[in-house]
Structure 1
Amino acid sequence: MTAYILKRLLLMVPTLLGVLLVTFAIVQFVPGGPVEQMVAQLQGRDSGGERAAAVGAGYRGRQGIDDKRIAEIRQLYGFDKPAHERFFQMLGQFARFDLGRSFYQHKDVWELVKEKLPVSISLGLWTFFLSYLIAVPLGVAKAVRAGTRFDFVTTLIVLVGYAIPGFVLGVALLVVFGGQLQWFPLRGLTSANWDQLSWGGRIVDYLWHIALPVTAMVFGSFAVTAMLTKNAFLEEIRKQYVLTARAKGLDERRVLWKHVFRNALIPIITGFPAAFIGAFFTGSLLIETLFSLDGLGLLSYESVIRRDYPVVLGTLYLFTLIGLVTKLISDLSYVLVDPRVKFD
């Protein structure tokens, strides 16, 4: 086990370097970078990525801006150094867990991530817990009643929920419950007077605002877990040890919950760490945009559009590292759940 863990930790290094290298190389060829955008601003143009891209490689269309000013702009954003030197400088910063500083928001990337985390945690944790609380009991019930009308109806509902994109359901919820019925707010995580409310009022206000976006995310996310739970239980129920337990006269409920339940949950529990950690750092761009929630998904999208490379690369490094560690924890959880599993 120790050798396996060390091997996996060592493999994380080239994987992480490969992800950063590929992304950094692509960034070098993307038009409309920060230098081009600054040139466009100085010429009175729109500073957005699409208009700034018209400046193009070599800063075409820079009439009226001398070479000295261009050199100062390049130095301001660190583009006066060769690409390989900037790459190794970035790696040195990341090794110290210094994610850099945003070009446009003038804040450290760590600070930006901390600012956006509450929204993403709110969406992710509620979606995670509600999905598991609904999916696992539903999957067990479907396995026990396999082939019945209940199984058919719930399968139809689950598949419909899985087929409908979350943002489409979110639009429908906004129109019906936020616009026509006006039961829920249309935007934001809390009300404007949230600081003036009591603790009970704050909780109610928060749940009132989070109800629609979480519903839009949960409705499709629990489908895979529910069907996985059902199939895992059906596979275990058909095994020899279950037939033997029934032949000995054991109560059906005891057979199901004491013998089948533990073995059937192995593929579900092993995915639990990745889903749990992902709930903290996963941002949903479309849901956040639709409900005007300023989270990590919206931060990533805006950073790409504005060519805010420190934010793009810094968050990529952080989330890739978290993903690799979480994947290792998920693999090791197999041993904790099922001691028969050995890593050779």
Structure 2
Amino acid sequence: MLLNYILRRILWAIPFFFAVSLIAFALISAPPGDYLTTFAATLAQSGDMVDQARLDALRERYGLDQPFLIKYWRWISGVIQGDFGISFEWQQPVSQLIGERMALSVTLALATLIFTWAVALPIGIYSAVRKYSVGDYVITAVGFIGLATPNFLVALVLMYIAVVHFGADVSGLFSPEYQDAPWSWAKLADLASHIWIPVIILGTSATASLVRIMRANLLDELHKPYVTTARAKGLSEFHLIMKYPVRLALNPFVSTIGWAFPQLISGAVITAFVLSLPTAGPMLLQALLAQDMYLAGAFILLLCCLSIVGMLVSDILLALIDPRIRYR
């Protein structure tokens, strides 16, 4: 039954992929004009003029004068074969431009997700079990502050503390000597020494939110009859809480996987600019401003694919940890 459920979810992901690809391409095609229009306007502001015949020739060369469905079919058929097209602004294959940036973005998002879970889970359990204690009030106050503080402000504060008190290098994810170096164990170690600051910054608000969610869900479970029955049978308090209520209260944690990855990648643009992070967010913003449709479309499509994969993983994990879920 579980295997059939997983297979059905995987098969449903295929039409979802084509649906979101169509929406993604429609979004990047929606603004008036195209890259050549933006390029001509930029040159006009600097006093240079571009011949309209040349623009028309370039538009025909890049296929920008074709109907929407034809442009979409050319793009998605190339994507299926691993060809995301050519970036107009960079004049390079899109796959070469986004490869390392998306890998770093996914690594940062995964590290942030692990940090968020590792911090929010025990704190949320403590806050629920010790309801209305001094520790609960302190956690609640800190959580509200974490939710209300913008990520870029936390970034500036942590940058000041890291530089002034610890002498740490907080610009980017690598030291200058490893910036363009090939991957090695030394470069991975350098990445690990830099990644903790953006992980804390991006995980602050998410941790505060999940602490509140975990506390509320666990409080609902702690007062149900099955907990009283298990306690009456002589189970230790720790074993009782961890085996039953916490397992059922984990559902919101698992369900966040579907949106956590794309939200962390696309929602950290300002933080990436503040910390000079070579991630997907700044390049995506630049591509959208320049109407570089193939570069922006590749980023948006990959973010949508991360959502699809995240929802698939969360559905499978929910089916594994929660016996109340019916596979039908």
Task: Name the TM-score, length of structure 2 as normaliser.
Answer: 0.84
1:113 is aligned, of 91, 98, 122, to 98
The answer to whether the aligner puts 1:45 opposite 2:46 as a matched pair is yes
CA deviation profile, 1:44-75 (whole Å, cap 9, x unmatched): 8279xxxxxxxxxxxxxx5x72x532332223
Deviation of 1:43 after TM superposition, in Å, equals: 5.5
Amino acid at match of 1:16: V
**Cα distance between partner residues in 2 of 1:14 and 1:279:** 21
Aligned residues: 321
The answer to whether the aligner puts 1:338 opposite 2:322 as a matched pair is yes
CA deviation profile, 1:88-135 (whole Å, cap 9, x unmatched): 322322333421111121222222221213432343232111111110
Contact 2:108 2:199 in 1 (8 A): yes
Match of 1:168 in 2: 153
Contact 1:120 1:283 in 2 (8 A): no
Amino acid at match of 1:212: I
Contact 1:283 1:296 in 2 (8 A): no
Match of 2:36 in 1: 35
Q: How does 1:157-236 map to 2 (within 5 A)?
A: 157-178=142-163, 180-181=164-165, 183-194=167-178, 205-236=190-221
Of all paired residues, the percent bearing the same amino acid is 23
> SS where residue 103 of structure 1 aligns?
coil
1:239 is aligned, of 220, 224, 231, to 224
Range moving further from structure 2, 150-159 or 210-219: 210-219
Higher relative contact order (CA 8 A, sep 6+): 2
Structure 1 residues without counterparts, runs of 5 or longer: 48-61
Q: How does 1:27-106 map to 2 (within 5 A)?
A: 27=31, 29=32, 31=33, 33-40=34-41, 45=46, 65=51, 67-106=52-91
**Cα distance between partner residues in 1 of 2:140 and 2:269:** 28
Match of 1:310 in 2: 294
**Cα distance between partner residues in 1 of 2:162 and 2:16:** 46
> Residues 224 and 46 (structure 1 numbering): CA distance in 2 closer, same or farther, change over 3 Å?
farther
The answer to whether the aligner puts 1:325 opposite 2:326 as a matched pair is no
Task: Name the TM-score, length of structure 1 as normaliser.
Answer: 0.81
Contact 2:169 2:194 in 1 (8 A): yes
RMSD of Structure 2 on Structure 1 (CA) = 3.1
Amino acid at match of 1:222: T
Amino acid at match of 1:246: R
**Cα distance between partner residues in 2 of 1:201 and 1:97:** 30
> SS where residue 193 of structure 1 aligns?
helix
> SS where residue 244 of structure 2 aligns?
helix
> SS where residue 30 of structure 2 aligns?
helix
Contact 2:20 2:301 in 1 (8 A): yes
Contact 1:102 1:308 in 2 (8 A): yes
Match of 2:12 in 1: 8
